Structure 1
Amino acid sequence: MPQPKSSSHIRFAAVGDLHVQSDAAGQLHDFFAQAADQADALLLCGDLTDYGTAEEAKVLAEELSVVSIPVVAVLGNHDFESGTPELVIAALNQAGVRVLDGSICEIEGVGIAGVKGFGGGFGRGSLGAWGEPAIKLFVQEALNEAMKLESALAKLRTRRRIALLHYSPVVGTVQGEPAEIFPFLGSSRLEEPLLRYPMDAVFHGHAHRGTFEARTINDVPVYNVARPLLQRTRPDAPPFFLYELPREALGEPVRTAA
């Protein structure tokens, strides 16, 4: 049953991996309308298009026309496939979507920092920058994304904070995928900035066969909201995740890390 919007809480609908194709016109209207009806803001965790084409981005933007609540997004690896992520961003911006890439926004007192992220592996299995130049470039990309996240988090001045990613910052939410591809599903380097700033929650997608929820080292909840995962593991719930924060605590400044 739909949950009525609350005067005491702000509710976010979070989902990733929509993989919109050029022939998908009309297929997401009801989905987006349901999210807008139940939430105060919509968070999109990358892989919004299937091949990152201008045609797919246009279809996505048209599907989002039914959404009257704020929409915040990050891109995913699929949105880069055609080499023109700027076209995807332009279409989303035209539809009123705020696309974050090492940047922040604020919705009703909740600060949101967003970055795509990258792979590289987790913990002792993390790839090191050693050997061939191609390996060093791969690791440097992961470091660049982590630094972008760090920079964004440092700019937040709200009491309540959410991080929006495509790749996972923890190994827990990729469990269920083949272990051989863990290095391509996320990176512990993305977790490091999240440990230095107070956070309420982290949302990501990408790992379709992963696990819905895990925690950072300092116990911040991390949610894998890839749409295929939500559809498979929560068949009786809408294919997005509703996350609430209390309104009465919003907007209070907090001390940021030095």
Structure 2
Amino acid sequence: MKRIKALAFTDLHGKMWVSQELAYKAEEENVDVILVCGDITHFGSSQDAKNLLSPLIELRIPVLYVPGNCDPPSLVAVTIDGAECIHGISKFCGDIVFVGVGGSPITPFSTPFELDEETIMKILKTSLQEGIKGYKLAVVSHSPPKDTSLDLTQSGIHGGSLSVKRFVKEK
């Protein structure tokens, strides 16, 4: 199977100019898929998310996304032509199966889309489809695995998900 070239990013936080720059980069690099790992908006609406994804969608490259903790939870059920929310589902692309989980573990900040670790694990496990044997697995999540270099915040605490970490280790 053909190797997949992906552009993956997170934390647009409502910045249209960043979305436009990423669209330019995706086109320049001739990517096969664009992976948006949440915080598309900065406490915005589903319509804001649609608008922010539009420069990427215009490229007619598959756009797979999960909402982040600063996005509205309702974004998981919104239809966006040209983009697919993979929160709670898996999506095949070449020799890779992408599984998605949006939101974040519970924070002290009470952001809009937070889930307990048990729910995160349940979403990851139920999103796997039959017939993935022989495919490479890639997790598309807003929360990185806990206690890694990926989840270290500016204040020096690890803000990732234990469930994402366990799921990745199990698979």
**8 Å Cα contact 1:102/1:148 also seen in 2:** yes
- 1:102 pairs with 84, 88, 91, which one? 88
Question: 1:91-142 CA distances to partner (integer Å, 9 max, x unpaired)?
Answer: xx32321101121111123100000253269xxxxxxxxxxxxxxxx8x722
**8 Å Cα contact 2:88/2:123 also seen in 1:** yes
**8 Å Cα contact 2:63/2:83 also seen in 1:** yes
Q: How does 1:5-154 map to 2 (within 5 A)?
A: 9-20=3-14, 24=16, 28-38=19-29, 39-80=31-72, 85-87=73-75, 90=78, 93-116=79-102, 118-119=104-105, 141-153=116-128
Q: CA deviation at 1:10?
A: 1.6
**TM-score for the superposition, normalised by structure 2:** 0.79
**8 Å Cα contact 1:20/1:56 also seen in 2:** yes
Q: In the superposition, relative to structure 1, how do residues 101 and 58 fare at CA in structure 2: closer, same or farther (>3 Å)?
A: closer
Query: In the alignment, which residue of structure 2 is the partner of 1:165?
Result: 141
SS at match of 2:65: strand
Q: In the superposition, relative to structure 1, how do residues 18 and 156 fare at CA in structure 2: closer, same or farther (>3 Å)?
A: farther
SS at match of 2:60: coil
Give the aligned residue type for 1:35: A
Query: In the alignment, which residue of structure 1 is the partner of 2:162?
Result: 188
Q: In the superposition, relative to structure 1, how do residues 55 and 102 fare at CA in structure 2: closer, same or farther (>3 Å)?
A: closer
Q: In the superposition, relative to structure 1, how do residues 87 and 73 fare at CA in structure 2: closer, same or farther (>3 Å)?
A: closer
**Larger Rg computed on CA atoms:** 1
Runs of 4+ residues over 6 Å off in structure 1:
none
**TM-score for the superposition, normalised by structure 1:** 0.55
**8 Å Cα contact 1:104/1:156 also seen in 2:** no
| Count of aligned pairs between the two proteins | 162
SS at match of 1:28: helix
**8 Å Cα contact 1:53/1:88 also seen in 2:** no
Unaligned runs of 5+ residues in structure 1 are 1-6, 122-137, 198-258
Q: In the superposition, relative to structure 1, how do residues 88 and 195 fare at CA in structure 2: closer, same or farther (>3 Å)?
A: closer
**2:53 & 2:153 partners in 1: Cα distance?**
32
**8 Å Cα contact 1:112/1:162 also seen in 2:** yes
Question: 1:122-163 CA distances to partner (integer Å, 9 max, x unpaired)?
Answer: xxxxxxxxxxxxxxxx8x722111111122246461421111
Unaligned runs of 5+ residues in structure 2 are 108-113
